């Protein structure tokens, strides 16, 4: 006697595109509105639904009145399909939410990103291995609302945000050894006003410029300084490294260049204030959230050696 072999028949499902067209038409009661929902033409929806009806061998819509109404068979199919699609939509939304939670965006001024954060990038990625990091240039919250953390320069008092201090403000003069050698002897403060100065333009007037710095250290300045103005701190630093003049340095930003001797302090005087760089994020963010932990990591790493 030959063994009895069971054969499992596999149901062949209709085209998913046909099912979606049917779902949209059933929800809207109109092929025209379904077409707008799916961003296709009305005849395309009509053809899809007709193909589904031909595939199943049944009528799904009664077309004698408007809006469209489902036949009993169509209602049964719609109920099952809507339940399945709802679960699918929920699952996809959950997957996307988890993926979004893995992304961390830091926005900061180009100078801070280039000279402070990039040397610590390896340590940062090691500290947050499960996060996808994105760095944006810009420190104004209103311009980059999608950033999780904005590193901002100021006094730490901004409405609606928690501010964690990364660096305090200490500003001193630096130049390259090449520029210094051209002077013969190390110039005193009063002579600095006659030398070529590299100036950062800041339309928001947040940072020290040479005029404010000289006044803060008690030096009278001439009516006009021998200054070249830059709107980007990275360009200004590149000019200083090339021996083109003297730059103002914010403590913590150019530590690498000072350690290697590529830049040197041209005087011992420094100007300090209560301002500085702060990691800011929306008030109400829980302390154990990845955003809060990242902000505190940035603050703690300011006192750690660079990676």
Mean pLDDT of the chain: 85
CA atoms in the 13 A half-sphere facing the CB of 247: 30
The Cα–Cα gap between 72 and 131 comes to: 50
Asked if 201 and 231 touch (Cβ cutoff 8 Å), the reply is yes
Question: DSSP secondary-structure letter at 148?
Answer: S
Q: Where is average pLDDT lowest: 95-99, 174-178, 223-227, 297-301?
A: 95-99
pLDDT at 249 over 70: yes
The Cα–Cα gap between 170 and 251 comes to: 5
In this predicted model, what pLDDT tens digit does every residue of 30-40 receive, in sequence order? Answer: 889 989 988 89
In this predicted model, what pLDDT tens digit does every residue of 257-266 receive, in sequence order? Answer: 999 999 999 9
DSSP symbols for 46-99: HHHHHHHHHHHTS--EE-SSSS-EE-HHHHHHHHHHHHHHHHHHHHHHHHHHHH
The Cα–Cα gap between 144 and 164 comes to: 19
Asked if 248 and 171 touch (Cβ cutoff 8 Å), the reply is yes
Query: Nearest Cα to 289, choosing from 112, 101, 126, 142?
Result: 101
pLDDT at 128 over 70: yes
- The pLDDT value recorded for residue 7 is 47
In this predicted model, what pLDDT tens digit does every residue of 143-171 receive, in sequence order? Answer: 566 788 999 998 998 988 999 999 999 99
Mean pLDDT of 129-136: 87
Q: Give whole-number Cα distances, 233 to 64, 141, 189, 207, in Å.
A: 72, 20, 23, 11
Which has more pLDDT, 247 or 11? Answer: 247
pTM higher than 0.85, yes or no? Answer: no
CATH numbers and ranges of domains, the chain: 16-100 (1.10.10.10), 105-301 (3.40.190.290)
Share of the chain above pLDDT 70, in %: 87
Q: What is the dihedral of CA 87, 90, 95, 98, to 10 degrees?
A: -140
Which has more pLDDT, 210 or 306? Answer: 210
pLDDT at 131 over 70: yes
Cα 13 to the center of its chain, rounded Å: 43
Which two tokens mark 37?
Answer: 């929902």
Q: Hey, is 24 helix, strand or coil?
A: helix
The Cα–Cα gap between 101 and 108 comes to: 20
**Which range in 12-16, 54-58, 284-288 is most confidently predicted, on average pLDDT?**
54-58
In this predicted model, what pLDDT tens digit does every residue of 218-237 receive, in sequence order? Answer: 888 877 888 999 988 889 99
Instruction: Scan for tokens 């940062």, then name that residue.
Output: 124
- The pLDDT value recorded for residue 265 is 93
């Amino acid at each position: 006697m030959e063994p009895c072999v069971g054969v499992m028949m596999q149901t062949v499902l209709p085209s998913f595109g046909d099912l979606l067209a049917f779902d949209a038409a059933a929800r809207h009661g109109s092929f025209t509105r379904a077409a707008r929902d799916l961003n296709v033409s009305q005849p395309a929806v009509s053809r899809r639904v007709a193909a589904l009806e031909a595939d199943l061998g049944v009528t799904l819509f009664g077309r004698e009145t408007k809006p469209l109404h489902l036949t009993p068979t169509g209602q049964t199919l719609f109920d099952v399909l809507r339940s399945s699609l709802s679960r699918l939509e929920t699952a996809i939304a959950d997957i996307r939410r988890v993926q979004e939670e893995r992304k961390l965006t830091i926005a900061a001024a180009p100078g801070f990103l280039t000279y402070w954060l990039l040397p610590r990038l390896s340590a940062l990625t090691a500290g947050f291995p499960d996060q996808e990091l994105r760095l944006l240039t810009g420190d104004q919250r209103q311009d980059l609302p999608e950033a999780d953390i904005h590193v901002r320069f100021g006094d730490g008092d901004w409405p609606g945000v928690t501010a964690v201090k990364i660096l305090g403000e200490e500003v001193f003069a630096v130049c390259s050894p090449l520029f210094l050698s051209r002077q013969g002897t190390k110039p005193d403060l009063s002579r600095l006003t006659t030398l070529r100065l590299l100036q950062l333009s800041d339309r928001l007037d947040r940072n020290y410029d040479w005029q404010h710095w000289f006044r803060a250290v008690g030096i009278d300045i001439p009516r006009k300084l021998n200054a070249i103005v830059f709107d980007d701190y990275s360009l200004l630093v590149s000019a200083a490294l090339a021996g083109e003049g003297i730059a103002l340095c914010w403590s913590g930003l150019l530590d690498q260049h000072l350690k290697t001797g590529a830049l040197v302090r041209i005087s011992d005087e420094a100007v300090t204030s209560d301002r500085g760089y702060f990691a800011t994020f929306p008030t109400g963010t829980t302390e154990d959230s990845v955003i809060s932990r990242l902000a505190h990591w940035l603050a703690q790493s300011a006192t750690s050696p660079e990676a």
